[in-house]
Structure formats: structure tokens, C-alpha cells
Amino acid sequence: MAADCIFCSIIEGNIPATRVYEDADAIAFMDRTQTVPGHVLIVPRQHAANLFEVDPQAYARLFAVTAQVARAVKAGLNPPAISVLQNNGREAGQTVDHLHVHILTREAHDGYRMNWDDLHANSEQLERWAASIRENL
Ligand code: 5GP
Ligand code: ZN
């Protein structure tokens, strides 16, 4: 439990939330901002700010719960599609510093869009980026 963390407060039951699932490791509740019908958050009980702080095993467990809940959203609300989103850092759109995964129901032409414009990097650039990543694995 981190002081002044809104999601820790929800986990502790000090702030209300519309819960859809909980187990020993994680809880899922309705996002207060329903940008789409059925915007659900999956949150680990143990506080970690984001993926840079969490134990990789705990991160894997969070996504196992996400898969379970996302299938229930699909079966229960019957959207044609679902996106899973997980922001890490302000520039990525993270506003709550307690690790969480978004489940978003999707419809054709729903206006939700990531920027997929191609940088048209050449093969040398790709190799430099790949080498920088490999050096840190
Ligand atoms: P982020 O932008 O950090 O990836 O997502 C944070 C999400 O948490 C937002 O979609 C926001 O609507 C949601 N959120 C923030 N505070 C609360 C709250 O007190 N209750 C609920 N249910 N959702 C919250
Ligand atoms: Zn927290």
C-alpha cells in the first residue's frame, strides 16, 4: 500500500469502485471514464508504479488475469473486438502511478487510434536500435 495512491485506496476498500473480479494477486474494476462501454482496469494488489518497477513474474500474472477478464468482457458485452493497453510513463499517457492494464471494447469506426505512421527506418537504423536493446537483455 502506497500513501496517496488512488488504486491502493480502491484495493483497500477506502474508495468505492465497481468491481468485476478479484483474486489474491489482482483486482479488476470499471474505469470511472467509460470512453467505450466496458472500459475495465486490471490492477495488481501489490503497489508498483509501472512495468519498470514490477517483478516480471508479477507482470506475467497480471496479464494472465487480463486474459481471463478480457474474455469475460467479450462474452458478456459482445463487442466485435477488444484492445488491451498498458501505459508506462507520462509521455505514454500514464496518469495513475500504480501499474494497471486497460481493457477497451472496440467497434468499427469508434475513433480510438494509436499513431501507426511509419518512420521508414532503414535496415542500418533498425540494426542499431536492435543492438541497443539486445545489449540490455
Ligand atoms: P492511465 O492514463 O494512467 O493509463 O489510466 C488511468 C485510468 O484510471 C484512467 O482511465 C482513469 O479514468 C482511471 N481512474 C483514475 N482514477 C480513478 C478512480 O478513482 N476510479 C476508477 N474507477 N478509475 C479511475
Ligand atoms: Zn498503489
- Which domains can be identified in the chain, with CATH numbers? 6-135 (3.30.428.10)
Phi–psi pair at 19, nearest 5 degrees: -80, 145
**Of the bound ligands, which one is closest to the alpha carbon of residue 34?**
1
pLDDT recorded at residue 11: 98
Residues of the chain with confidence (pLDDT) below 70: none
The residue whose CB lies within 8 Å of the most ligand 1 atoms, and thus the one to mutate among 5, 7, 19, 32, is 32
pLDDT recorded at residue 53: 97
The residue whose CB lies within 8 Å of the most ligand 1 atoms, and thus the one to mutate among 5, 6, 22, is 6
pLDDT recorded at residue 48: 98
Torsion, Cα of 42, 48, 53, 56 (10° steps): -50
Phi–psi pair at 85, nearest 5 degrees: -135, 140
41: CA distance to ligand 2 center in Å? 13
55: CA distance to ligand 1 center in Å? 22
pLDDT recorded at residue 7: 98
pTM above 0.85, yes or no: yes
What residues have their beta carbon closer than 5 A to ion ligand 2?
A: 2, 5, 7-8, 47, 98
